[in-house]
Amino acid sequence: MDQYLQEIIRKALIEMNLDEQEIPDIQIESPRDPSHGDAATNIAMLLAKPLKNNPRKIAEQLVNSLKVDKNRIAAIEIAGPGFINFRYSDSYLYNELESLLDSKSAYGSTDDNSGKKVLIEFVSANPTGPLTVGHGRNAVLGDTVARLLEWTGADVHREYYFNNAGRQMRVLGQSVQARYLQELGKDAELPEGGYEGGYITEIAKALIKKHGDSLVDEKDESLFKESAESAIFDEIKKTLDRMNIKMDSFFNEHTLYEDGSIENTIETLREKNLAYDNDGAVWFKTTEFGKDKDTVLIKSTGEPTYRLPDIAYHANKLERGYDLCLDVFGADHIDTYPDVLNGIEVLGYDKSKVDVLVYQFVTLVKDGKPFKMSTRKANYVTLDDLMDEVGEDVTRFFFLMRSPNTHLEFDVAKAKEAGEKNPVFYLQYAHARIQSILRKVDEIADFTGKADLKVLTHKTEIALLKKLLSFPEAVSLAASHREPHRLITYLNELASEFTSFYHDCRIVGEEENLMFARSELAKATATVLANGLTILGITAPESM
């Protein structure tokens, strides 16, 4: 409906002698107060300045120029300073409900991003330990935004970027080597800043099982490092799988050194007089882009900072032909990613094809107190620990229920609550309850053919029907804003509308025609709940 309204408004404006380029973005929104109508636009107010006219007069002229299909729109009203409100016709509502019932598991999908190739990079934790609660919001947010983009027509590729070189990986290898020797009764100490988690000991034990004591005199930590990386990645993939997350590719930062991308990036920056040497380090002239001071790309030790491989990596992404490269970053990247965007622009790429979703961090609350995490010191909570405690569905849901822009307090006690007090169970119970009702209806009557949906005239039936039909819009908005919590808000409102409908309108026990129509409305609600939960990566149970 939104596209239809935008189209007829645009045509009417052209008839009013507006040039295509003069027409601003036509926004269609649902009024907060349902009594104001089903859809509204503020286009008349946006045109007041360019047309130098009163917005209400513009609205009147526009309404008079609209060519409306009466089978879709029953009434148009002008409100306030110039809002134009539309009321849907009953025939439109019933036809759309029928379409919903026919579409089933595809209902809610749109073609907003049809033909667009998207690469989403998320999680991207280096293989130094298991995924912790600190990685959870990134993982679930990235995967759910990927699902939203898929539901709006995009061809989405999920990528995990990692670095298996550098000091932290050397320390990992040395930590495993020390535990290996200790398990064999040898005198060995963990390196400074070594990894103390129990998983290090488990990897060491696996090496003893495979190699015995033949590695005791090994001088290089490489074999220990490679064994640790392999074992840790296996566990990371299992954790992601358990969270209903499937990666399409794993990209190793080392590839960028092997294929010359890092060297080419530095050379190009030097050629453009945007990289220089000072105090043994290589600097990026970020003052050219408005920063107060320049930024180090390669330290005096020869070790690159994150910015250099990240610039080369994003160039690699764009070389692969993606229309959009979306990064999911924690708030600690706010100062670094603008340098990366400027870097890829200098290399000749379109930085508008790179988007960054920045989320605030998570505090795990346990026994009413914040619980701090550290992978090295081993006082962390893994994602597997959390899922063992509260379940996979609850874990995903709690990571998604707040805006990415807000700090998230993950309260384990609340997550463990049983029954409808738990927000994810509230939605799952609603779906399961409807399935139970539908099973009872099937026991009473064997309906064939299509229901006469026109008997659905009660105000709560119509309210529920309208809420169902706004599902595609809810998906589109959540996808375009990269905010999955918007979809959760919609699903909660839908479950509430169903409760009101079920309170006012009996299904089982009504005469057959009305029972059939109401059961179809209930079935449509179950379909939308299931589709919404699917997008969130959460199960929609048939019974609970």
User: Rounded distance, CA 497 to CA 264, Å?
Assistant: 58
DSSP 3-state assignment of 363?
strand
108 close to 487: Cβ distance less than 8 angstroms: no
- Note the CATH number of domain 2-88: 3.30.1360.70
CA quadruple 175, 177, 181, 187: dihedral sign: negative
DSSP 3-state assignment of 323?
coil
Q: Which of 405, 361, 400 is closest to 490 using CA atoms? A: 400
Neighbours of 457 (CB within 10 A): 9
**Residue type at position 253:** E
pLDDT at 207: 95
- Same CATH fold, 94-111+420-535 and 2-88? no
Mutual angle of helices 383-390 and 222-242, in 10-degree steps: 30
pLDDT at 366: 76
CA 113 → CA 155, 329, 436, 495, 534, distances in Å?
8, 22, 36, 28, 19
Q: Which of 60, 59, 16 is closest to 41 using CA atoms? A: 59
pLDDT at 205: 96
Strand partners, 284: 275, 295
Q: What are the tens digits of pLDDT across the range 143-201? A: 999 999 999 999 999 999 999 888 889 999 999 999 999 999 999 999 998 998 889 99
pLDDT at 196: 86
Q: What are the tens digits of pLDDT across the range 455-514? A: 999 999 999 999 999 999 999 999 999 999 999 999 999 999 999 999 999 999 888 899
DSSP 3-state assignment of 362?
strand
Neighbours of 398 (CB within 10 A): 25
pLDDT at 444: 86
pLDDT at 365: 86
Instruction: Give the start-to-end residue ranges of the domains of the chain.
Output: 2-88, 94-111+420-535, 167-242
pLDDT at 425: 93
Give a three-class secondary structure readout of 383-404. Answer: HHHHHHHHCHHHHHHHHHCCCC
pLDDT at 184: 94
Top-level class of domain 94-111+420-535: mainly alpha
User: Rounded distance, CA 144 to CA 137, Å?
Assistant: 10
Residue ranges, the chain, pLDDT below 70: 371-379
